[in-house]
């Protein structure tokens, strides 16, 4: 067997592999850990399974793995998705549609939602319900949150958070009047057409800043009169044009009639 030397091609490959191994080990030791801002599911998973079977299995399957054409698999959506969807009244859906309605009454108590969330969390790892520390608007920076919101959210929800129409019968709902916990969970889980902003994209502290901005929008209100849905300059300009033109036409008719 030929003796291995530093000039042998095999020695170069071995040195390269050793260098890569050492680099990977060093990075794993010093790399920052992903931010965490969630609490573990605290409900009764056994009781949650019974509630799930009675109220959710028709669409999502008895084991939560989904049914084609009815409901997706819930493995990996986490407790946060359940808490958001059921806590805002979107689920269970009364009928299939392109988007769950957000104006329905919540059908379950907080304890029952927590139990169902605990069961769904047991199906696979996923986002958990956020800790109160990260949903308290008073601890956030509304100025920084406004910058984050305008970059990531305003194209669908508009800069005032009043929502807007999307394609194919969908819509981005208003985010004002929503609890801080549900705002956080929506960013974390990405319901319907909304993208997912996990803690690597937007940190828990930044999410809290966004919540602070939205709550600031609620407190500010609209000191300038009728907000016209808060949809921006296009509907406002259309209203002024229509109303102003109508007044001018009416005035012209009145003056013409009076002169004759």
Residue 16 lies in a domain: no
Residue 98 lies in a domain: yes
Same domain, 88 and 145: no
The reported pLDDT for the residue numbered 1 is: 47
Same domain, 207 and 160: yes
Decide which of 121, 146, 179 is a domain's last residue: 121
Q: Which of 174-198 are b and which e, b meaning 16 or more Cβ less than 10 Å from the residue's Cβ?
A: bbbebebbbbbbbbbbbbbebeebe
Same domain, 144 and 197: yes
The reported pLDDT for the residue numbered 238 is: 74
Lowest mean pLDDT segment, chosen from 26-30, 92-96, 207-211: 26-30
Residue 69 lies in a domain: yes
Same domain, 96 and 146: no
177-193: pLDDT as tens digits: 899 999 999 999 999 88
Residue pair 38/131 in contact (Cβ under 8 Å)? The answer is yes
Residue 61 lies in a domain: yes
154-178: pLDDT as tens digits: 888 888 888 887 887 788 888 988 9
Decide which of 93, 121, 149 is a domain's last residue: 121
| Residue 123 pLDDT greater than 80, yes or no | yes
Same domain, 66 and 113: yes
Same domain, 213 and 136: yes
What are the residues facing 210 on neighbouring strands? none
Lowest mean pLDDT segment, chosen from 55-59, 75-79, 95-99: 95-99
Decide which of 56, 91, 121 is a domain's last residue: 121
The reported pLDDT for the residue numbered 228 is: 61
Q: How many Å apart are CA 54 and CA 178, to the nearest integer?
A: 28
* Residue 86's CATH number: 1.10.760.10
Same domain, 107 and 137: no
Instruction: Provide the whole-model pTM.
Output: 0.72
Residue 11 lies in a domain: no
Residue 153 lies in a domain: yes
Same domain, 216 and 136: yes
Tell which wins on pLDDT, 189 or 20: 189
CB atoms within 10 A of CB 248: 10
64-95: pLDDT as tens digits: 999 988 889 999 999 999 999 999 988 988 77
Residue 234 lies in a domain: no
Please compute the mean of the pLDDT values over residues 195-207 and round it to a whole number.
Answer: 93
Give the C-alpha distances (Å, rounded to integers) separating 101 from 173, 195, 205: 9, 18, 29
Q: How many Å apart are CA 25 and CA 134, to the nearest integer?
A: 32
| Residue 38 pLDDT greater than 60, yes or no | no
Residue 55 lies in a domain: yes
Helix runs in the chain, H state only: 9-30, 45-55, 57-60, 78-87, 110-121, 142-152, 154-157, 180-189, 204-220, 233-259
Same domain, 146 and 208: yes
What are the percentages of helix, strand and coil residues in the chain, rounded to 5?
A: 55, 5, 45
The reported pLDDT for the residue numbered 204 is: 95
Same domain, 63 and 104: yes
Number of domains making up the chain: 2
What is the distance of C-alpha 192 from the center of its chain?
A: 9
Same domain, 106 and 147: no
Please compute the mean of the pLDDT values over residues 120-126 and round it to a whole number.
Answer: 93
CB atoms within 10 A of CB 62: 12
Domain range holding 95?
45-121
Same domain, 137 and 215: yes
Please compute the mean of the pLDDT values over residues 200-204 and round it to a whole number.
Answer: 93
């Amino acid at each position: 067997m030929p003796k291995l030397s530093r000039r042998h091609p095999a020695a170069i490959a071995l040195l390269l592999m050793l260098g890569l191994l050492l680099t990977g080990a060093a990075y794993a030791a010093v790399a920052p850990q992903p931010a965490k801002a969630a609490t573990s599911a605290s409900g009764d998973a056994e009781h949650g399974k019974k509630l799930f079977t009675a109220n959710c299995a028709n669409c999502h399957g008895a084991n939560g793995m989904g049914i084609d054409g009815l409901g997706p698999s819930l493995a990996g959506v986490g407790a946060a998705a359940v808490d958001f969807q059921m806590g805002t009244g979107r689920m269970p859906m009364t009928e299939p549609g392109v988007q769950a309605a957000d104006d329905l009454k919540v059908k379950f108590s907080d304890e029952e939602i927590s139990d169902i969330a605990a069961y769904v969390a047991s199906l696979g790892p996923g986002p958990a319900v956020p800790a109160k520390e990260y949903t308290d608007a008073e601890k956030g920076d509304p100025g920084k949150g406004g910058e984050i919101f305008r970059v990531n959210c305003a194209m669908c929800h508009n800069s005032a958070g009043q929502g807007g129409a999307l394609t194919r019968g969908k819509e981005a709902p208003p985010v004002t009047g929503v609890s801080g916990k549900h705002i956080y969970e929506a960013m974390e889980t990405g319901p319907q057409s909304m993208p997912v902003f996990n803690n690597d994209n937007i940190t828990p502290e930044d999410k809290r800043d966004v919540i602070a901005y939205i709550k600031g929008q609620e407190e500010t209100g609209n000191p300038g009169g009728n907000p016209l849905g808060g949809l921006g300059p296009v509907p406002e300009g259309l209203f002024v044009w229509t109303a102003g033109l109508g007044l001018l036409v009416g005035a012209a008719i009145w003056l013409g009639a009076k002169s004759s």
